[in-house]
């Protein structure tokens, strides 16, 4: 009898809404093609610790709508070293796993790519991160949910800011990438957006706030990405001083990472997960799976990771135009 292909799957780094939908798609996609699937708990940490269990069709029942990741996640310092990656690979070998699916961001994919190269195992990367900071794919799993969570929060903050006649500086996540700020800012009708990829002029922002107040505007919302060097508190103090408007700060924080994934993220995760199963069945080279336009694509893993992310700085112009 032909030996079944054994596939390992893990989630690593910061969790993102839609990771569960993606795990479900990979597990069910692979099982339907006659493969066996092994869940690795707590990312690369669990891989090194041999925290690995076989999964079945019911291991992924009732999870498509849940935030977080049933496989749990971690940031592993040991896996950053060749010795840690070797230890992880030895555990895969022990379980007879010949293909590894990793769901996570840049760090997760880079770790998987290095382990694959060093030890000769196929690795398939699925982009699970709220940050949308991977250049090879138009969007990542979790980004849409995080943006919608941020937009809902901006709406609530706008209500109280208007009532109180305040300016509010809202800090959103995204590491070095300004995409959550750009999308939440534009969709939330912010007065201005500050991102790490684009120079900003805080004197101009203060002038715009003053002009808005003179026109009878009741509030101002400024969205700032966490990767901007200037601290949110320092920006708020500066704006209050320059405009005379009471200025508050809100750090949205981890609220952006949790919650039930949007339909868009569930669909994206499901399509990408099934694509991973197809690639494994075909014996394709190590790849990163992404979306370009409406097409799910697979790009050689190392090449995908070298593609630089482009920023939608035009969103800031649109935002200023619509002030």
Say whether 131 is catalytic.
yes
Catalytic residue among 106, 131, 192, 265: 131
Nearer to ligand F6P, 38 or 183 (CB): 183
Contact 247, 167 (CB under 8 A): yes
Radius of gyration, alpha carbons of the chain? 22
Choice from 46, 116, 128, 174 touching ligand F6P (CB under 6 A) = 174
Site for ligand F6P contains 149 (CB under 6 A): no
**Which residues, in sequence order, are CB contacts of 52 under 8 Å at separation 6+?**
8, 38, 39, 40, 41, 46, 91, 95
268, two tokens: 């994206």
Strand order through the sheet with 220-225: 192-194, 220-225, 167-172, 247-251
36-40 and 52-55 strand pairing: antiparallel
Q: Is 36 helix (H, G, I), strand (E, B) or coil?
A: strand
Contact 194, 316 (CB under 8 A): no
State in angstroms the smallest separation of the CB of 231 from ligand F6P: 15
Nearer to ligand F6P, 174 or 273 (CB): 174
DSSP summary character for residue 71? T
Length of the chain: 323
Site for ligand F6P contains 129 (CB under 6 A): yes
Site for ligand F6P contains 173 (CB under 6 A): yes
User: Which candidate, 22, 42, 19, places its Cα nearest to that of 30?
Assistant: 22
Site for ligand F6P contains 248 (CB under 6 A): no
- Rounded distance, CA 281 to CA 99, Å? 10
Site for ligand F6P contains 18 (CB under 6 A): no
State in angstroms the smallest separation of the CB of 112 from ligand F6P: 16
State in angstroms the smallest separation of the CB of 40 from ligand F6P: 19
Site for ligand F6P contains 115 (CB under 6 A): no
Choice from 28, 41, 103, 131 touching ligand F6P (CB under 6 A) = 131
Site for ligand F6P contains 105 (CB under 6 A): yes
Choice from 72, 158, 224, 257 touching ligand F6P (CB under 6 A) = 257
C-alpha distance across the termini of the chain, in Å: 68
Choice from 130, 157, 269, 305 touching ligand F6P (CB under 6 A) = 130
- The piece of 171-179, 207-215, 283-291, 310-318 that touches ligand F6P (CB under 6 A) is 171-179
Residues in the site for ligand F6P, rule: CB under 6 A? 14, 105, 129-131, 173-175, 226, 257
Question: What are the catalytic residues?
Answer: 131
């Amino acid at each position: 009898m032909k030996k079944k292909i054994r596939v390992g799957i893990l989630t690593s780094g910061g969790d993102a809404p839609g990771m569960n939908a993606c795990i479900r798609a990979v597990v069910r996609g692979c099982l339907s093609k006659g493969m066996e699937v092994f869940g690795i708990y707590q990312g690369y940490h669990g891989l090194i610790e041999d925290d690995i269990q076989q999964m079945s069709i019911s291991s992924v029942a009732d999870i498509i709508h849940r935030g977080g990741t049933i496989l749990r996640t971690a940031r592993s310092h040991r896996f950053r070293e060749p010795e840690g990656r070797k230890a992880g690979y030895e555990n895969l070998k022990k379980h007879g796993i010949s293909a590894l699916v990793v769901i996570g961001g840049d760090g997760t994919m880079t770790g998987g790519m290095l382990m694959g190269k060093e030890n000769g195992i196929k690795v398939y990367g699925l982009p699970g991160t709220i940050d949308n900071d991977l250049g090879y794919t138009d969007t990542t799993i979790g980004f849409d949910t995080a943006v919608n969570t941020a937009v809902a929060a901006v709406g609530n903050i706008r209500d109280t800011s208007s009532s109180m006649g305040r300016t509010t500086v809202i800090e959103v996540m995204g590491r070095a990438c300004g995409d959550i700020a750009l999308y939440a800012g534009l969709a939330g009708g912010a007065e201005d957006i500050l991102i790490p990829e684009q120079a900003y002029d805080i004197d101009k922002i203060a002038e715009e706030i003053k002009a808005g107040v003179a026109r009878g505007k009741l509030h101002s919302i400024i969205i700032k990405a966490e990767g901007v060097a200037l601290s949110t508190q320092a920006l708020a103090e500066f704006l209050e001083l320059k405009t005379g408007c009471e200025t508050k700060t809100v750090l949205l924080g981890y609220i952006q990472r949790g919650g039930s994934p949007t339909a868009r993220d569930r669909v994206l995760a499901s399509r990408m997960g099934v694509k991973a199963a197809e690639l494994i069945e075909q014996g394709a080279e190590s790849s990163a799976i992404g979306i370009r336009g409406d097409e799910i694509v697979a790009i050689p893993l190392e090449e995908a990771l070298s593609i630089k992310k482009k920023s939608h700085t035009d969103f800031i112009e649109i935002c200023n135009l619509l002030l």
